């Protein structure tokens, strides 16, 4: 069954505890937490002490996304949080295999992230080594961007390669994910949907977070039944 990850960087940062309480009342599966260093992306976000405070307020497993240069450094900085998954960018990793093995040794699922402009070819050598692939459908760095339709072809290409190689890492998509953009993926449905501003924290017609997440789940199930 597909999973929903709530991107906490899109929440009301002046009322994080309330936002977490609202998420606890939903059937959200993961908390997606973006680390941004101001170098790999022109933004700063979510430090280790803040995340430690968040961890005390939620039962949701952590799905950490390192939008940073030197991901090796940030794995050491954040591993104390015992996240379920850490995604690091193939564009920034000096030695991806070493970092993948290190994450496994820490008991953290390794995930490779790639921006829209990065070709699938760049992650082919690692597909058998990782538990997840984070396919960015917007350029990493900011919420509220428009979905990049060219990423649909990458998603299709990735699905085909994984099938040919009989590999089964989870595919997570992140960036302007909502019922409309999910409909564009219905022939190559991903496994994890990161919901940020457009479908959860600022968008959606439903009143509660549970209603918004239910709307997304219903759309996913409807599109799946089409194929
Ligand atoms: O990492 C990012 C953006 O860099 C995402 O997690 C966004 O936070 C998702 O927000 P929307 O695109 O849905 O507004």
Consecutive H or E run containing 215: helix 209-225
Residue 40: give the domain boundaries. 3-225
- Tally the C-alpha atoms within 13 A of residue 1's C-alpha that lie toward its C-beta: 7
191 counts as catalytic: no
Contacts of 65 (CB under 8 A, 6+ apart): 32, 33, 34, 35, 87, 113, 134, 140, 174
Predicted local confidence at residue 203, as pLDDT? 60
Max Cα distance, the chain (Å): 47
Predicted local confidence at residue 43, as pLDDT? 96
Residue pLDDT, tens place only, 127-137: 999 999 999 99
Predicted local confidence at residue 1, as pLDDT? 84
CA-CA distance, 171 to 76, in Å (whole number)? 24
ipTM over 0.95: no
Predicted local confidence at residue 226, as pLDDT? 73
10 close to ligand 1 (CB < 6 Angstrom): yes
* Cβ-based neighbour number of residue 12 at 10 Å: 11
Q: Length of the chain, please?
A: 227
174 counts as catalytic: yes
Proportion of the chain above pLDDT 90, given as a percent: 93
Give the active site residue among 29, 34, 37, 63.
34
133 close to ligand 1 (CB < 6 Angstrom): no
Predicted local confidence at residue 3, as pLDDT? 97
Predicted local confidence at residue 225, as pLDDT? 79
Query: CATH number for the domain including 97?
Result: 3.20.20.70
- Quickly list DSSP for 189-202: --SEEEE-IIIIIS
36 close to ligand 1 (CB < 6 Angstrom): no
Distance 77 CA to ligand 1 centre (A): 22
Q: Is 82 helix (H, G, I), strand (E, B) or coil?
A: coil
145 Cα distance to chain centroid: 15
* Cβ-based neighbour number of residue 35 at 10 Å: 25
Q: List own/partner pairs for 94-102 with CB under 8 A and 24 or more apart.
A: 94/70, 96/125, 96/126, 97/125, 97/126, 97/129, 98/72, 99/71, 99/72, 99/75, 100/126, 100/129, 100/130, 101/129, 102/72, 102/75
* 170 DSSP β-pair partners: 132
90 close to ligand 1 (CB < 6 Angstrom): no
CA-CA distance, 227 to 223, in Å (whole number)? 7
Residue keyed to tokens 């260093």: 37
57 close to ligand 1 (CB < 6 Angstrom): no
CA-CA distance, 109 to 132, in Å (whole number)? 8
Q: Show the low-confidence residues of the chain (pLDDT under 70).
A: 203-206, 227
Predicted local confidence at residue 227, as pLDDT? 62
Distance 143 CA to ligand 1 centre (A): 4
Instruction: Look at residues 190, 189, 178, 220 and name the one whose alpha carbon lies nearest to residue 10.
Output: 178
213 close to ligand 1 (CB < 6 Angstrom): no
DSSP H helices in 25-166: 48-55, 71-78, 96-105, 151-165
Distance 31 CA to ligand 1 centre (A): 13
Domain total of the chain: 1
Q: Which atom of ligand 1 is nearest to the CA of 200?
A: 13
Give the active site residue among 174, 191, 205, 226.
174
């Amino acid at each position: 069954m597909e999973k929903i990850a709530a991107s906490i960087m899109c929440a009301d940062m002046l009322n994080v505890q309330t936002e977490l309480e609202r998420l606890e009342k939903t059937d959200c599966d993961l908390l997606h937490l973006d680390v941004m260093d101001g170098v790999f992306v022109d933004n700063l976000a979510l430090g280790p002490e803040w995340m430690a405070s968040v961890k005390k307020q939620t039962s949701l497993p952590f799905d950490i996304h390192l939008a940073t240069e030197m991901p090796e450094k940030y794995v050491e900085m954040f591993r104390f949080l015992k996240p379920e998954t850490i995604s690091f960018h193939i564009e920034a990793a000096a030695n991806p295999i070493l970092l993948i093995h290190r994450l496994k040794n820490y008991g953290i699922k390794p995930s490779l992230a790639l921006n829209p402009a990065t070709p699938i070819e760049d992650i082919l050598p690692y597909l058998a080594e990782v538990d997840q692939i984070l396919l960015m459908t917007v350029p990493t760095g900011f919420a509220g961007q428009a979905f990049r339709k060219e990423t649909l072809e990458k998603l299709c290409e990735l699905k085909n390669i994984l099938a040919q190689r009989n590999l089964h890492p989870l595919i997570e998509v992140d960036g302007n994910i909502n019922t409309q953009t999910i409909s564009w993926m219905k022939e190559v449905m991903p496994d994890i949907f990161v919901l940020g501003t457009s479908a959860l924290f600022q968008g959606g017609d439903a009143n509660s977070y549970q209603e918004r997440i239910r709307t997304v789940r219903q759309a996913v199930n409807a599109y799946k039944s089409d194929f």
